[in-house]
Amino acid sequence: MEKLGRVADPLIKTLAARLLLKSGSLKNSMGSEGGVSLRIRNNIAMEAQLKKRVSTNTTAISKLNIGEIREKTLSFTEQMRLKSRPYGQYRYSPSGRSPLLYASVYACLLRDLYNDMSQLSFSERQDWIRSMQNHQHDDGLFKDAAVANQLAETADWWGWRHLTLHTVMALDALGVIAPKRISFLREFKNREVIVKWLNSRDWNGNVANVSNEIQNYCALLQYARDFHDESWAEDALNIFYDELDKRQNTRTGSWGNKIGNSGLLSITVQTGYHIWILYFYDKKQVRFADKIVDSCLGTQNRLGGFSPFLNSSACEDIDSIDPLVRLYHLDSYRRAEIKTACKRAMIWIMTNMNRDGGFVFRRNEPFLYGHENMFSGINESETFSTWFRSLSLAYVSKILHESAIGRFNWHFLQCPGYQFWR
């Protein structure tokens, strides 16, 4: 949790403060996913409302129609496309107006996940590719003037490095690679630089943010190795893995030493997710797998989400779902409990779907993600959470084969980042 005054960007503080003034029942919180989520306390009224939604979904889950969900979600995504502009330009939410690269990337990844890219004409695909590639700078970073601020330069839970990782994934979905090499990574050709950089991270403080940094840099190193044939990146990654192994917590399988209540356990899992996924992509052994499973299962709340707060976020949910599903296929430990957890999670994920086919970051809260152009009001759908919650469904499908989502042919990438299956 963060105090409002500790939010780094003045623009975020201004908008968050304005929202807070409108409702005295709200207080601010920031998780490892960053952004500003204006927390509604877990009061009786909200809990009753969420329980009712979950109960309704539990009753309807046997009649779940993945075709209908796909159609509605793709319809919402199409509504976010700006028809008056070249193809592939999207706004972030219904209340948004500006075309954003982040929104375009989310829409691309979502459509690819739902096997919808074949609908593109040649000219549409080329327009979309061109609009993305035009955002790449000489250092390899993808930037968007529409969301430029101080935070974009420094943050790793959002900002340019985070956007770059997402954009190379979207370009892969469109069948091309980033036109320029990611040259800002080249400082990591030196072992001493890597070790010094890791030693300088705040391992005993905001370790969840540290893990975001590591994921951005290392996943882009994986991309440089696999897509730009930068052979030195393999050596750099091996140094990272060696150093990360030394720092891994044997009690949790994650990184950092803070462990105790459910809130700290949630942060522990969020931290681990960003780093474990690097190991999964490279098919490296994930050590202390049983501890990781214990940690992830321990974050599930009574409504099926993965957070000490009942209205768990899109990030909190996938941060536990992803490693649980992957480890289910790699280890026999607590498999029955993982499957049960995924069944409950599927119901909870659907609780966050709106009638327009989009999804929310958290129920009953507005959400500001890095910049005022990436804002969604209370229970307003937006492209980021629509993609991330749909991706959670796709991962759950890898266990729940007998369910409607399990029978659907989800499409995964073979690109580092978030949307691969190996």
pLDDT tens string 316-362: 999 999 999 999 999 999 999 999 999 999 999 999 999 999 999 99
Distance, CA of 46 to CA of 331 (rounded, Å): 38
Beta bridge partners of 420: 413
Dump the DSSP string for 140-194: S-B--GGG-SHHHHH-SSSHHHHHHHHHHHHHHHTT---SS--GGGGGGGSHHHH
Number of neighbours of residue 321 by Cβ within 10 angstroms: 28
Contact call for residues 111 and 91 (beta carbons, < 8 A)? no
How many independent structural domains does the chain possess? 1
In a domain, 71, yes or no: yes
The identity of residue 12, as a single letter, is I
In which residue ranges of the chain is pLDDT below 70?
Answer: 1-46, 57-63, 258-262
pLDDT at 19: 42
CATH number, residue 213? 1.50.10
User: Which residue in 333, 298, 336, 340 sits closest to 319, CA to CA?
Assistant: 298
In a domain, 123, yes or no: yes
Beta bridge partners of 412: none
In a domain, 196, yes or no: yes
Contact call for residues 346 and 396 (beta carbons, < 8 A)? yes
User: Which residue in 343, 334, 369 sits closest to 147, CA to CA?
Assistant: 369
In a domain, 44, yes or no: no
pLDDT at 48: 75
Q: What angle do CA 3, 4, 7 make, to 5 degrees?
A: 100
Distance, CA of 308 to CA of 299 (rounded, Å): 7
pLDDT at 136: 98
Distance, CA of 274 to CA of 285 (rounded, Å): 16
pTM: 0.90
Contact call for residues 96 and 79 (beta carbons, < 8 A)? no
In a domain, 111, yes or no: yes
Dump the DSSP string for 83-141: TTSSTT-B-SSTT--S-BHHHHHHHHHHHHHTT-GGG--HHHHHHHHHHHHTTB-TTS-
Beta bridge partners of 353: 359
| Non-local CB neighbours of 24 within 8 Å, separated by 6+ positions | none
In a domain, 2, yes or no: no
Domain that holds residue 351: 61-396
User: Which residue in 324, 360, 326, 316 sits closest to 342, CA to CA?
Assistant: 324
E-assigned strands of 175-322? none
In a domain, 99, yes or no: yes
Number of neighbours of residue 177 by Cβ within 10 angstroms: 16
In a domain, 299, yes or no: yes
Q: What is the CA radius of gyration of the chain?
A: 20
